[in-house]
Amino acid sequence: MNELLINKTHDEVRQGEAFSPKENSGIKYQKHFYIESYGCAMNFADSEVIASILQKDNIGCTNDSDQADIILINTCSIRDKAEEKIRKRLTEFKQLKKKKPALIIGILGCMAERLKGNLLEEEKLVDLVVGPDAYRTLPGLIEEAETGQKGVNVLLSRDETYADISPIRLNSNGINAFVSIMRGCNNMCSFCVVPFTRGRERSRSAVSIIAECEALFNEGYKEVTLLGQNVDSYYWRDEEAGTNVSFAELMEKVALISPLLRVRFSTSHPKDITDDVLFTIKKYDNICNYIHLPVQSGSTRVLQMMNRTYSREWYLAKFNRIKEIIPDCGISTDMITGFCTETEEDHQESLSLMESCKYDLAYMYFYSERPGTLAARRFKDDVPLETKKRRLQEMVNMHRVHSLESMQRDLGKTFRVLIEGESKKSDQEFYGRNDQNKVVVFPKKNFKKGDYVTVKIEECTAGTLIGKTIE
């Protein structure tokens, strides 16, 4: 479950986020599409690629599903809960189609690749099924669907990176942007469906990534998040120069665009994050001191069954190495409770690892078997649901204490914060994030969105730092 961070939530299944058509102003489009995205940051980045592809084919975006000619749902297939919510949403749109028979309904992304037959034939919920590597074919598939044919393309690619497509920043605040640097995953974690739905790893050219980041900065964006299922395994061969570009080198190239451009990344696999990456983070003030380091379990036995390729001791050594090189680095993690054969002793090892690491943020879930994964084929999902939920609650309770302690340690400190927008609770306050990815709220004064400000922390909750700006 090497999943990607989203600032508002992690990859917890969200109500789909509908994108608004800011780029469509003043342009007359032949047709309009409405898109909702669920799941990880990669899905949201993909939706921006999809918008660009469709706009070039004279299909504009609308944020009103009732006005759309085409409704698309970009999906997540990580857990049952994700698929349940998406099926419910598709059923709602099917009712809309009864009123508008010409309406085209499509499902995109990971769930599309995994459940194409069910969705098309058995449940008859959609007209289009398009996998993550086939978005370029969307215009043609939409034309097919308009004739009554089912439009289907779920073929995985060994080389598709969409490097030449300039994403349309849908629902953007104009400050933060996702930049996809690679696709797919080679890590065959036994619980994870991603290698089967997104294919093998392939890295996008460094030249195109730098060009996209430069363009974003010139447009006024102040922060980019470099995205990949496992960014640390990024590798690109520059044939013209005869050189290779590693993830550490790519980060450095992006950081050098401007000291005013913040750089974040997601996600790291513990086995691949190197000292080169850590020293590059330390070297540049505009590379944020924050790393998402999923562990999944604190039991070496369970980690072996998960095929995570490291032990508890190895992971703790990596965690300590990060803190040694970057003492103030914020670290978050993923944890799964109730994986196949997990005992109470295994669960206690997970809790003790969390007690050792005291993560700033943790994203926790109980195990949900995914058809087609190695775990589904090899192991029995034998931990009762009530036990999974009880263990998860114990883990959540522990993390709440750690999260509050983490926030309290920042009382009295000052942080450089990038203003991202108004606080949800008051139009008299702004919010932003500090280097460690913690949300900071403070009075507006005469600042504006996109400014960097220095904030002294005076109060906190378990999830937010509260302070005042200082000169």
Q: pLDDT above 90 covers what percent of the chain?
A: 74
The whole-number average pLDDT for the span 74-102 is 83
Distance CA 293, CA 353 (A): 13
Instruction: Indicate the pLDDT class of residue 178, thresholds 50, 70 and 90.
Output: very high
Task: Compute φ and ψ for 263, nearest 5 degrees.
Answer: -125, 125
| pTM listed for this prediction | 0.89
Three-state SS at 167: coil
Instruction: Indicate the pLDDT class of residue 120, thresholds 50, 70 and 90.
Output: low
* 38-66: pLDDT as tens digits: 878 888 899 999 999 999 999 999 999 99
Distances (CA, A) of 407 to 304, 459, 460: 33, 9, 6
Instruction: Indicate the pLDDT class of residue 12, thresholds 50, 70 and 90.
Output: very low
pLDDT value for 20: 52
Buried b (16+ CB within 10 A) or exposed e, 231-264: bbbbebeeeeeeeebbbbbbbbbbbebeeebbbb
Instruction: Indicate the pLDDT class of residue 160, thresholds 50, 70 and 90.
Output: very high
Q: Which CATH superfamily includes the segment(s) 17-153?
A: Response regulator (3.40.50.2300)
Q: Which two tokens stand for residue 193?
A: 């469906």
* 216-229: pLDDT as tens digits: 999 999 999 999 99
* 335-374: pLDDT as tens digits: 999 999 999 999 999 999 999 999 999 999 999 998 889 9
Residue 469 has pLDDT above 50, yes or no: yes
Distance CA 326, CA 279 (A): 8
Residue 16 has pLDDT above 70, yes or no: no
The per-residue pLDDT of the chain, averaged, comes to 90
pLDDT value for 78: 64
pLDDT value for 338: 98
Winning range, highest mean pLDDT, from 100-109, 126-135, 455-464 = 455-464
Instruction: Count how many residues are written for the chain.
Output: 471
Of residues 18 and 368, more confidently modeled: 368
pLDDT value for 9: 30
CA atoms within 13 A on the CB side of 186: 12
Residue 137 has pLDDT above 90, yes or no: yes
Distance CA 432, CA 421 (A): 7
Winning range, highest mean pLDDT, from 75-79, 123-127, 310-314, 467-471 = 310-314
pLDDT value for 215: 96
Residue 8 has pLDDT above 50, yes or no: no
> How buried is residue 349: exposed, middle or buried, by Cβ count under 10 Å (0-12/13-18/19+)?
buried
* 399-436: pLDDT as tens digits: 999 999 999 999 999 999 999 999 988 999 999 999 99
Residue 205 has pLDDT above 90, yes or no: yes
Domain ranges of the chain: 17-153, 176-407, 414-470
pLDDT value for 3: 36
pLDDT value for 43: 86
Of residues 223 and 19, more confidently modeled: 223
* 288-341: pLDDT as tens digits: 999 999 999 999 999 999 999 999 999 999 999 999 999 999 999 999 999 999
Class in CATH terms, 414-470: mainly beta
Q: Which CATH superfamily includes the segment(s) 176-407?
A: tm_1862 like domain (3.80.30.20)
Of residues 26 and 437, more confidently modeled: 437
pLDDT value for 102: 93
pLDDT value for 389: 97
pLDDT value for 23: 44
Distance CA 191, CA 371 (A): 10
Q: Which residues does 70 contact at the CB level (< 8 Å), separation at least 6?
A: 31, 32, 33, 34, 59, 103, 104, 105, 106, 142
